[in-house]
């Protein structure tokens, strides 16, 4: 294990907060995946994120906050925004909101857009780091651009190595797929990315249909809209019932394989295992291809299918 991974102790948390304050990069756990964090107001630190991930500057980043009241100073809000925040935060739900003022310090994090993306993570280590740092922490997934997202500290170390000043270890991520993203800038709520909060739960709370938009992959308004993303090195085939001999097969439910996302057919369990199992399949020395069994699209299955579709895009 790399020397750059640190256990969750008060001393290490203070060290991580100091790194954020001083313009460094800290990888930390959230309930979804591990994030690569920097001070949102420090343009050089944000630029270091893009450089470490080899991520294009047109792909905006999500800011993480620890207090709902901070939204008033950070973005244009209304009663609907606060109602959703009260119901689903902290948790895997991100809002796209209009920026409250022209603040050039966050232009890079927002990819120059007049909107920003923000959420409050549920992981206690993430919340503590944000509070101790005293600033919103912009944090995309802590992996190289378009590769499989990390759900353990070791995944971060394997992908980014010494490009990160510090990796805080919080164990495996519970949800396992990135947050759901909602565009709240207009009268209709629009889902821009399926994720850790189910579409059905949002619609039940709002009492209205949530529209879905895949966005523009050439000019994304939120993370996760590129056609190819979350991709393993090897060729990936999806919705497979009978794999070829040269394919490492990831099963689901009654369709078994070399490994099974959820033998009992639970999409929440499958989401938690998805990225770790893609990494395992990708490291198979005996087979150079990957196949995944069909996963239903209900609940977190919508997010799983979104990730697999983008991961298999040629």
Query: Which of 51, 60, 20, 52 minimizes the C-alpha distance to 37?
Result: 20
pLDDT at 1: 43
pLDDT digits (tens, 9 = 90+) for 296-308: 999 999 999 999 9
Quickly name the fold that domain 235-311 has: Rossmann fold (3.40.50)
> Which segment of 40-49, 133-142, 279-288 scores lowest on mean pLDDT?
279-288
What is the dihedral sign for C-alpha 261, 211, 207, 186? positive
What stretch(es) of the chain map to CATH 3.40.50.11030? 235-311
Other CB atoms within a 10 A radius of the CB of residue 48 amount to: 19
What is the value of pTM for the model shown?
Answer: 0.92
Domain 5-177: give its CATH superfamily: DHBP synthase (3.90.870.10)
Give the pLDDT mean for 24-44: 97
Burial 128-151 (b: 16+ CB within 10 A, else e): bbbebbebbbbbbbbbebbbbbbb
Confidence label for 71 from pLDDT (cuts 50, 70 and 90):
confident
What stretch(es) of the chain map to CATH 3.90.870.10? 5-177
pLDDT digits (tens, 9 = 90+) for 128-171: 999 999 999 999 999 999 899 999 999 999 999 889 999 999 99
């Amino acid at each position: 294990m790399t020397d750059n991974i640190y256990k969750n102790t008060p001393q290490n948390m203070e060290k991580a907060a100091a790194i954020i304050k001083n313009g460094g990069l800290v990888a930390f756990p959230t309930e979804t995946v591990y994030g690569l964090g920097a001070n949102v107001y420090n343009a050089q630190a944000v630029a270091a994120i893009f450089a470490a991930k080899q991520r294009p500057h047109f792909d905006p980043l999500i800011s993480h906050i620890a207090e709902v009241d901070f939204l008033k100073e950070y973005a244009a809000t209304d009663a609907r925004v606060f109602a959703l925040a009260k119901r689903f935060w902290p948790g895997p739900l991100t809002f796209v909101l209009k920026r409250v003022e022209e603040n050039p310090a966050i232009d890079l994090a927002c990819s120059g857009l007049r909107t920003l993306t923000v959420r409050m993570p549920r992981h206690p280590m993430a919340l503590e780091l944000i509070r101790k740092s005293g600033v919103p922490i912009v944090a995309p997934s802590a992996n190289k651009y378009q590769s499989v997202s990390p759900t353990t500290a070791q995944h971060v170390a394997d992908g980014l190595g010494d490009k990160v000043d510090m990796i805080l270890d919080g164990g495996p991520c519970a949800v396992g797929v990135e947050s759901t993203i909602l565009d709240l800038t207009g009268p209709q709520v629009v889902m821009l990315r399926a994720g850790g909060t189910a579409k059905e739960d949002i619609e039940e709370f709002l009492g209205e249909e949530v529209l879905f938009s895949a966005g523009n992959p050439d000019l994304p308004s939120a993370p996760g809209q590129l056609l190819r993303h979350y991709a393993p090195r090897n060729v990936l085939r999806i919705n497979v019932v009978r794999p070829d001999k040269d394919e490492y097969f990831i099963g689901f439910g009654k369709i078994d394989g070399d490994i099974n996302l959820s033998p009992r057919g639970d999409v929440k369990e499958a989401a938690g295992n998805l990225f770790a199992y893609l990494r395992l399949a990708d490291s198979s020395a005996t087979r150079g291809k990957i196949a995944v069994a069909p996963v239903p699209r209900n609940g977190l299955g919508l997010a799983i299918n979104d990730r697999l579709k983008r991961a298999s895009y040629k």
